[in-house]
Chain A
Amino acid sequence: MPLIDMPEFSADLLAEFAARRAERVNTPVIQPAEPFLDMAGEDLRRRIFLTESETGANLCLRPEFTIPVCLRHIETATGTPRRYSYLGEVFRQRREGAHEFYQAGIEDLGDKDIASADARAIGDAMGVLKTVLPGRSLALTLGDQAVFEAVVKALGLPFGWQRRLIHAFGDMAHLEALLDRLAKPQPVAGLDPEIAALIASGNEAELVARIDSTMQETGYSTNASRSPTEIARRLKEKLELAETRLDGTALLLLREFLTLQLPLAEAPTALAGFADAADLKLGPAIAMFDARLAALANAGADLSAMTYRAAFGRPLDYYTGLVFEVTETGSTAVLAGGGRFDRLLTLLGATELIPAVGFSLWLDRLEAARAKR
């Protein structure tokens, strides 16, 4: 690793990571591109530096550390719980700022005590930032997808609609479009009457057989892509979901929930009040939210610097609960970003569920913030 241009506070960071018992790991700068594109989607393609090996494999310059650290964990099969830290260069095509810059962070893998691991990740991020930016006022914004999932479930929406809304969580434009569809359902038009009749009569076997025979005739192999059963079942589900209408009150509630933004310490009362007024049972998600807050308070975190924003999430399917961002008070430059990604390790090939939470520090922005003084 080139040591010459490392941020001057790198040693402080590494000392902090060691004191927080996170084992320092390094990963190659040149990485297989597939896991990044698979996890984050094709949008990433224009933001990373891609190249091809002589044998045609897609390679990229490491755009972040979480996926390489998790892959390394799976390959080395060292068991959990484990706490890893990293500090190194990452490479991204950005409109503003350099294309190569340093990131550092901690990934906490396999701790089954979700509330305390969440609180520790927040505490670590804030603690490390305070060391690097002594005396500065920091602001943390926190979101929790699990609370949104509970609200959507409590509204009694069919499972398919819950899935759509949860998938869009964090992408407000997409979410708004879905809410519009729920307000004004459009019946499915143009369906072949014979197919419609088969669905109406509940004759799934016949429908599947028909799809299968058409596939055979038209040369669409039934094993490589979607199967006849999958198509038949989703068609039936689609017709049911198309009739789902969320009444005005429920829509208003959902929209009201998404506008919630308040000091974190007041969030439990506000969420309980919201659930009561709306007559929604939010159960375990709220209990987890409260337990995390209690763990934060126990660890002596400064709750007054923390805000809960109900609509804050990341629309990627491996994020599952907590997300957070830290800025200097009054600034928009994100110095640290983190969250819980319980689904990532199994998506990457782990054979068992490994709960995971972590955060990443943007060292170029930290340098800029330090220089401001």
Chain B
Amino acid sequence: MNAITIALPSKGRIKEDTAVIFERAGLAISAVGSDRSYRGRIAGIEGVEIAYLSASEIARELASGTVDFGVTGEDLVREGMPGVDQKVEFCARLGFGHADVVVAVPEIWLDVETMADLGDVAADFRARHGRRLQIATKYWRLTQQFFSGSHGIQLYRIVESLGATEGAPAAGQADIIVDITSTGSTLRANHLKVLSDGVMLKSEACLVRARKPGHEEDPRIKQIVEAVRAAL
């Protein structure tokens, strides 16, 4: 029987919250070796291994199918792979790690409240400023899908931002941002506002299954999914 690998977050609140749910699901995790080991097992199910990885690595391993399950933020999974729903199944939403991926603009843009407003601004930005509207984000795939797929906005440029994205507009690195927010306080502190229809994704931690051949016949797959669902 093939080993089943479950990739879990290796640190922080999300690691603890995941452990609580797995415990409640009857899938108690025992560390292999010391407590600080990055490998674990699930007592009671034969051949199930736990790999502790960073949240973004989990999304990547799910995309490549090197793990069977992962617990990570929906935002990272959707950003990390094209054709996401063919490649993975979101089996359960775990009720923690809530974060919205939002479009936020400077508060002082009094004329911009909706994506349609932003579309107007983007359309003649080049004529006014000699460059396209710039968006600071690390979510370039989600941004493209939302801007051109859902709102017909094509003419903008992404400025890749790997941290402190909220500061980019005031610092003059970009005009607006696409980023995650949970309470909105960082956005407010940076004088940014979320557009009324600018919530791109309501993300939370999810149990995600890589769609792999062999899962159909393996009873352990169903067992793990049902145990986690029952614990919510």
Residues of chain A having any CB pair with chain B under 8 Å: 37-38, 40-43, 45-46, 160, 163-164, 167-168, 171, 173-174, 177, 181, 188, 190-192, 195, 211, 214-215, 218-221, 224-226, 230-232, 234-235, 238, 315-317, 347
Is the pair B108, A174 in contact by a Cβ cutoff of 8 Å? no
Is the pair B158, A45 in contact by a Cβ cutoff of 8 Å? yes
Q: Which of A164, A168, A195, A218 has the most CB of B within 10 A?
A: A218
Q: Please list 28 pairs of residues, one from A and one from B, whose beta carbons are closer than 8 Å in the complex, sorted by A's number.
A: A38-B131, A38-B157, A42-B144, A42-B158, A46-B82, A171-B152, A173-B152, A174-B151, A181-B116, A188-B113, A190-B113, A195-B110, A211-B108, A214-B108, A218-B108, A218-B170, A219-B191, A220-B169, A220-B191, A221-B172, A225-B129, A225-B169, A225-B175, A226-B175, A231-B108, A235-B110, A317-B126, A317-B155
Task: Give chain B nearest CB distance to A40 CB in angstroms.
Answer: 8
Digitize B19-56: 1 where CB-to-A-CB distance is under 8 Å, 0 elsewhere.
00000000000000000000000000000000000000
Out of B120, B129, B144, name the residue touching A234 (CB < 8 Å): B120
A211 to B31, CA, bound (A): 58
Is the pair B111, A238 in contact by a Cβ cutoff of 8 Å? yes
State whether the Cβ of B117 lies closer than 8 Å to any Cβ in chain A: yes
A46 to B119, CA, bound (A): 21
Digitize B161-177: 1 where CB-to-A-CB distance is under 8 Å, 0 elsewhere.
00000000110100100
List of B residues within 8 angstroms of A188 by Cβ: 113
Residues of chain B having any CB pair with chain A under 8 Å: 82, 106-111, 113, 116-117, 119-121, 123-124, 126, 128-129, 131-132, 140-141, 143-144, 147-148, 151-152, 154-158, 169-170, 172, 175, 191
List of A residues within 8 angstroms of B141 by Cβ: 46
What 8 pairs between A and B have smallest CB-CB spacing? A174-B152, A41-B154, A224-B172, A235-B111, A218-B191, A234-B111, A225-B175, A167-B123
Task: Give chain B nearest CB distance to A38 CB in angstroms.
Answer: 6
Task: Give chain B nearest CB distance to A46 CB in angstroms.
Answer: 7
Is the pair B111, A231 in contact by a Cβ cutoff of 8 Å? yes
Task: Give chain A nearest CB distance to B148 CB in angstroms.
Answer: 5
A282 to B172, CA, bound (A): 44
A74 to B121, CA, bound (A): 29
A173 to B154, CA, bound (A): 14
Task: Give chain B nearest CB distance to A359 CB in angstroms.
Answer: 22
Task: Give chain B nearest CB distance to A203 CB in angstroms.
Answer: 14
Task: Give chain A nearest CB distance to B210 CB in angstroms.
Answer: 21
A192 to B158, CA, bound (A): 31
Is the pair B110, A231 in contact by a Cβ cutoff of 8 Å? yes
Is the pair B128, A46 in contact by a Cβ cutoff of 8 Å? no
- B191's nearest neighbour on chain A, judged by CB, is A218
On whether A164 and B156 interact (CB within 8 A), knowing A218-B191, A221-B172, A231-B108, the answer reads no
Out of A41, A163, A192, A211, name the residue touching B155 (CB < 8 Å): A41
- B196's nearest neighbour on chain A, judged by CB, is A190
Task: Give chain B nearest CB distance to A217 CB in angstroms.
Answer: 9
A217 to B188, CA, bound (A): 14
Task: Give chain B nearest CB distance to A32 CB in angstroms.
Answer: 14
List of A residues within 8 angstroms of B106 by Cβ: 220, 225
Other A-B contacts than A218-B170, A218-B191, 10 sampled, CB-CB below 8 A, are A37-B157, A38-B157, A40-B154, A42-B154, A42-B156, A173-B152, A220-B108, A225-B175, A226-B109, A315-B154
Is the pair B170, A43 in contact by a Cβ cutoff of 8 Å? no
Out of A177, A220, A317, name the residue touching B170 (CB < 8 Å): A220
On whether A219 and B170 interact (CB within 8 A), knowing A42-B143, A45-B144, A234-B120, the answer reads yes
- A241's nearest neighbour on chain B, judged by CB, is B120
- B125's nearest neighbour on chain A, judged by CB, is A226
List of A residues within 8 angstroms of B129 by Cβ: 225-226
Task: Give chain A nearest CB distance to B208 CB in angstroms.
Answer: 22
Is the pair B144, A46 in contact by a Cβ cutoff of 8 Å? yes
Out of B82, B151, B172, name the residue touching A225 (CB < 8 Å): B172
List of A residues within 8 angstroms of B108 by Cβ: 211, 214-215, 218, 220, 231
Q: Which of B117, B154, B172, B191 has the most CB of A within 10 A?
A: B154
Task: Give chain B nearest CB distance to A218 CB in angstroms.
Answer: 4
A21 to B204, CA, bound (A): 61
Task: Give chain A nearest CB distance to B84 CB in angstroms.
Answer: 14
Out of A40, A42, A226, name the residue touching B140 (CB < 8 Å): A42
Task: Give chain A nearest CB distance to B81 CB in angstroms.
Answer: 12
